[in-house]
Chain A
């Protein structure tokens, strides 16, 4: 970029104003996140009484201690890790299995199959017929209900197909065909090794989806020991609200609120830790994923 030294006064005022507005937005987005972090390592008494505003007061790790001694949270955490790993692996497998054939332009029937998939983006059976199907298949309250019903997302197939078409040189595939490589060999040896960026994007999208999902668990799982972390979080963070809000002011209740409060902030941090640890590394990939999907529509 060329440095423009001859800025007019108007330009400079604009720059200051622009920076100022963005700083406000930055603060508004960042503040709740920082507050949760600070509150999670503060004395719950001080948090509840409103003495914590930005920085932690009365440092303590009791919240985290409680989180790690809570059987429900730990079991939910392990369940979520299992669902995320298995679910994402299945997602990636099926997405590639669908996207690669559809990226070959002389594959007969390609248009029909694509339409067959895309149709489901606009029309669906809805909640109840899907629920009845899962019930009939005997998947209620099983591990499978958590990974099979959302085994692949149409939009991600489209994104990946577009990536294959735009980023893998056709000549490479043709050369491999000349050498007698089968289509499977071409996919495994040539196309996939060149597709790491899009595989990273897909892994991020799918795994965050699994990590954050609670709805399938809510309707398909009945056994608490199979609950993913998000359902446990819902109990801790949201369902405890009623006692808090209906204003029953008893001494014992106040105490139990304090106990519950100390765990809330810590559990939010712990629940999001894996995502925020990976986030900085994956950031450049997901921007790419979004723009690939958007440019072709």
Chain B
């Protein structure tokens, strides 16, 4: 953990280290007997803001367009979320459309697809978390034990590579490999005397294919962060353990794993928080009319009813519901982590 060196330079640091901020205040207090009077008599052009602006006006000028970008492309859409509570009428615009309260939310909750969407979104998210999360950790622990440098580098280079494939190409490869007539997987099954399976159109296979292709693509990339955490473990710990007669497995279990535990917890919080934020792109691309039963998730439903069906207000409500639940999940998991251990996001 960093020890807040930049305390005096901005509000955010002090917020991160409230303890130190309190101490600093206590030290400064006797030095300024009349703080409030001082502030009032100070000329505005001598204030910290004005001084900073005179010194850094060029930097403020640099920053300005980026702030404008964020206002337009992030904050205006946030303001536009109000159409979830309105009946959007194109000619009246977002602000002019009439308020309807929770009408769209109610329609969604009572809708035919509600439980199917929740089941699939949650199902895919949890499946991915449970199966996908441990693989990068395992790979990092194994790689960390390799002493032959070129072998380690080869494994790293190869396992990182699939990360750079686009989602379209990944799903395209799945379609090719799993095709019931020409795919290599089914050729293999036939060799073994089995019958070809229409993997991509069979609802029962959807989630498994989604999760394991994700493991294939992201396992290596995900391990980078753990490998970095492993290099920061004190080698003396290993030395001492070796002297005490600890074997390799014991050292992995008692030194390496606890050493990267904070990293694991942070990433676990982040991925639990995004359980409902199932990646739209891949689900959308893997989806077809035959596997909808297990592939339709909230994000694809928003796309279908919003962009394709032009039900702007209704799908905004669905999207808003999704992000609110997401954020609540993140907050809950973070609180649990903070209460049970020392590591948390905030």
A residues touching B (Cβ–Cβ < 8 Å)? 1, 8, 10-11, 14-15, 18-19, 21-22, 25-26, 28-30, 32-33, 35-36, 47-50, 52-53, 94, 97-98, 100-102, 104-117, 120, 122-133, 148-149, 151-152, 182-184, 187, 208, 211-215, 219, 230-231, 233-234, 236-238, 241-242, 244-247, 257, 261, 264-265, 268, 271-272, 275-276, 279-280, 283, 287, 290-291, 294-297
CA gap between A133 and B76 in the complex, in Å: 8
Is B146 a contact partner of A18 (Cβ separation < 8 A)? yes
Complex contact A117–B58 (CB within 8 A): no
Interface residues of B (CB under 8 A from A): 2, 6, 9-13, 15, 48-49, 51-53, 56, 58-60, 62-63, 65-67, 69-70, 72-81, 83, 94, 139, 142-143, 145-147, 151, 154-155, 157-162, 164-169, 171-173, 175-177, 179-182, 184, 187, 190, 198, 200-201, 216, 219-220, 224-225, 228, 247-249, 263, 266, 280-281, 285, 288-290, 299, 302-303, 306-307, 312, 315-316, 319-320, 323, 327, 330, 345
CB atoms of A29 and B266 under 8 A apart: no
Cβ-defined partner of A32 (8 Å) among B2, B80, B177, B220? B177
**Max chain B C-beta neighbours (<10 A), residue from A48, A234, A265:** A234
Is there an interface contact between A114 and B58, defined as CB atoms closer than 8 Å? no
Known contacts A10-B247, A238-B168, A132 near B175 by CB under 8 Å? no
Cα of A290 to Cα of B267 in the assembled complex, Å = 13
Which of B155, B161, B167, B289 contacts A22, CB < 8 Å? B155
Return chain B residues, CB-CB under 8 Å to A108.
Answer: 48-49, 51-53, 56
Are B59 and A101 in touch, CB under 8 angstroms? Answer: yes
Q: What is the minimal beta-carbon distance from B228 to any residue of chain A, in angstroms?
A: 4
Residues of B within 8 A of A105 (CB): 6, 9-10
For the residues of B in contact with A, the DSSP-based class is helix
Given A50-B184, A108-B49, A219-B307, A29-B159 contact (CB < 8 Å):
yes
**Which residues of the partner chain A approach B289 to less than 8 Å between Cβ atoms?**
242
Does B312 lie within 8 Å of A128, measured CB to CB?
A: yes
Option from A10, A124, A128 in Cβ contact (under 8 Å) with B83: A128
Q: Which single residue of chain A is at the shortest CB-CB distance from B49?
A: A108
A52 to B183, CA, bound (A): 11
Q: Which of A113, A184, A280 contacts B157 (CB 8 A)?
A: A280
Q: Give the docked Cα–Cα distance between A272 and B164 (Å).
A: 8
User: What's the minimum C-beta distance from B21 to chain A, rounded to whole angstroms?
Assistant: 13
A129 pairs with B316, CB closer than 8 A: yes
Chain A residue with the shortest CB-CB distance to B186: A50
Contacts of A109 in B (CB 8 A): 49, 52
Contact yes or no, B12 A115, CB < 8 A:
yes
Q: Does the CB pair B176–A264 fall under 8 Å?
A: yes
Given A124-B77, A233-B172, A279-B164, A291:B228 Cβ within 8 A? yes
